[in-house]
Amino acid sequence: MFLCSVAAAISRRPQSRSMVASAFAFSTKSTTTRYAGSVDRSTRLFSTESAAPEEKTEEEKAAIKAVREERKAEKERQKAEKAAKKAIKAAAEEEANRIHPVTYLSASEQDSYEPYGDMATIMSRGQSGRNFARVTDIGGGEDAKHGPESTVWLRGRISSIRVKGGSCFLVLRQDSFDTVQACFFKDKENPEQSAKMIKYLKSLTVESVVDLEGTVAPAEVRSCSIKDAELVLSRIHSVSNAASQLPFLVEDAARSEADVEASQGTDRPFPRLGQELRLDNRWLDLRAPANNAILRVQSAICQLFREALYARGFVEIHTPKLIAGESESGAGVFTTDYFGTTACLAQSPQLYKQMAVASDFDKVFEIGPVFRAENSNTRRHLCEFTGLDLEMTIVEHYSETLDVVHAMFKHIFEGLETRWARELEVIREQYDSEPATITDEPCVMHWPEAMEILEGKGFDMGDKLNDLTGAQELALGAAVKEKYGTDFFMLDKYPSSIRPFYTMPDPEDARYSNSYDMFIRGQEICSGAQRCHDPDMVTQILNDKGIEIGDGLKSYVESFRHGVSPHAGAGIGLERVVFLYLGLDNVRKASMFPRDPNRCTP
């Protein structure tokens, strides 16, 4: 092709043809001379008289360049064609191995769906008719709701997964502490589909939410709550994928402090998770079985509280949380703008509980938020907590209220140990505690007796009119446990100077009051009193304490001027009850998303 192009270029110019003829003649002459031997070889090679090659014309150069470019283009074309064929082949292989999202529109058509792959985002397209089971209903015995040979659908989290070769073992978790093992083994009769299933299983991450279908088979599984059965996996689809890198593992959050401490001297010590890391990722921390069960116990206490009071004719009320002034003297208050005026977040429902009694609701209770703007960073204080409050009319003595509150706590303690035994068992595997003891009748200690006990323990009680310190409360609790055999007791007749303005004074000695606190394991969980229902007496106490009667208190006092029955009540901190009953080391463990001076998120 190259010679033809050059020849064509030359043939278009006459002078080029003569140049070629001359070159041919010269070449013939040189050849003849060489064979004749008339010229010395060395002279011929180095002769300066030899003619220099004639320079190519621009047209010839262009022709040569065009040929080179054409040759290069041809090579590029062949290379591109080869690459395209390779890409087509790779795309075909990728498409053949691709695992597509699955949308379950009908359970009757599921055989036409791939048995693996992420579930298309659930957007309420419809209901497929799949029947999902609970892990707790699966078992290896014939008496199980879903026994051997049963095929079931389950939804839960992947607690752990291990894929090796042609097999996979995973643990599915429901409700934080119900677990069952599922397994998959390569099918020799369907190797292609098995390979895809293994590939998909390898892509799944711990804590992902999945739907899986499997057949129940008897098995011995020590590491799961279902110990006599497992599922032979036939289908699995991720409903929500968890990130491959989590802030911490749930299994690390579920270890007891004793286990973590014991591992520190080994080759593989368990990580010690700090409180702030846990609280920053509280939703993950609450997946740990014990932490999850703590919140279930919190719910149980609210249920049992309601049960006990409904049984005694109480009415549940809901009081305002935005109020015009402080509801508790001496306690920090959060303020906010209220259309140009200043409002407070309620420190308790106290004033409104009493006004409910003035409204002829003889027995009322409330479960609601309480706000305290106290810059206290202890293990038992929160800036927001849930209050369990009650108020009731009395006929003659506040002991009537003590009887009701004691019976209520007894109902709570006994209900937890019997009806929520499983949750308590899970909690106590990580956080050690014993059931709180409580007497059949109220155990009430009077202030003078408490002072005598504490002085006997070596405490300087001074004039005996100051509030108890934490150390004194613990010492008193230990003494009561030793003397009366109970973890729960009441202490009444507190000094008036350390109680709120609405507390009724002691009729015999105004230095003391008809007030009381209640304790679990030597720490206070409840505060209450007979309320001062006489409007003139309340006004005098307010003046003595230097408290201005603002708009909020004006309505409160006015309600008494219209007639009100004598009454008493109590306020209980829900998180503190949970914290102390379960023997936890910090009240934040008893709050879903705790609020303290340094934390307002998440």
DSSP summary character for residue 411 = H
Q: Are strands 567-573 and 229-240 parallel, antiparallel or unpaired?
A: unpaired
Question: What's the whole-model pTM score?
Answer: 0.84
Mean pLDDT confidence for 90-94: 76
Q: Is 5 a catalytic residue?
A: no
Residue 125 sits in which domain range? 107-240
Q: Please tell me whether residues 279 and 329 are part of one structural domain.
A: no
Identify the active-site residue in 374, 400, 429, 449. Answer: 374
Q: Is 74 a catalytic residue?
A: no
CA angle 323–494–536, rounded 5-degree value: 55
Mean pLDDT confidence for 132-155: 96
- The Cα 23–Cα 7 span in angstroms is 15
Q: Are 277 and 248 in contact (CB under 8 A)?
A: yes
Q: Is 527 a catalytic residue?
A: yes
- The answer to the question of residue 572 being in a domain is yes
Q: Is 588 a catalytic residue?
A: no
Q: Please tell me whether residues 230 and 253 are part of one structural domain.
A: no
SS (H, E, C) 294-352: HHHHHHHHHHHHHHHHHCCCCEECCCCCEECCCCCCCCCCCEEEECCEEEEECCCCHHH
Q: Please tell me whether residues 213 and 257 are part of one structural domain.
A: no
- The answer to the question of residue 10 being in a domain is no
- The Cα 118–Cα 13 span in angstroms is 74
Strand order from edge to edge, sheet including 384-393: 315-316, 363-371, 384-393, 567-573, 523-530, 515-520, 488-492, 444-446
- The Cα 519–Cα 489 span in angstroms is 6
Identify the active-site residue in 381, 411, 428, 511. Answer: 381
pLDDT of residue 96: 66
Q: Please tell me whether residues 146 and 81 are part of one structural domain.
A: no
Res. 90 pLDDT band, cuts 50 70 90 = confident
Q: Where are the extended beta strands (E) located within 165-307?
A: 167-174, 178-185, 209-218, 229-240
pLDDT tens per residue, range 232-243:
999 999 999 999
Q: Are 404 and 393 in contact (CB under 8 A)?
A: no
pLDDT of residue 245: 96
Q: Please tell me whether residues 179 and 197 are part of one structural domain.
A: yes
Longest dimension (CA), the chain: 156
**CATH number of the CATH domain containing 565:** 3.30.930.10
DSSP summary character for residue 144 = S
Query: Judging by beta carbons within 10 Å of its beta carbon (0-12, 13-18, 19+), is residue 485 exposed, middle or buried?
Result: exposed
Identify the active-site residue in 513, 576, 588, 591. Answer: 576
Q: Please tell me whether residues 76 and 196 are part of one structural domain.
A: no
Q: Please tell me whether residues 509 and 480 are part of one structural domain.
A: yes
Identify the active-site residue in 238, 327, 348, 527. Answer: 527
Amino acid of residue 122? I
**CATH number of the CATH domain containing 150:** 2.40.50.140
Identify the active-site residue in 372, 406, 499, 533. Answer: 372
Identify the active-site residue in 157, 173, 380, 588. Answer: 380
pLDDT tens per residue, range 527-585:
999 999 999 999 999 999 999 898 889 999 999 999 999 999 999 999 999 999 999 99
Summary count for the chain: helices (H), strands (E): 18, 16
Does the pLDDT of residue 507 top 70, yes or no? Answer: yes
- The Cα 283–Cα 239 span in angstroms is 18
- The Cα 198–Cα 193 span in angstroms is 9
Q: Is 372 a catalytic residue?
A: yes
Identify the active-site residue in 159, 524, 533, 559. Answer: 524
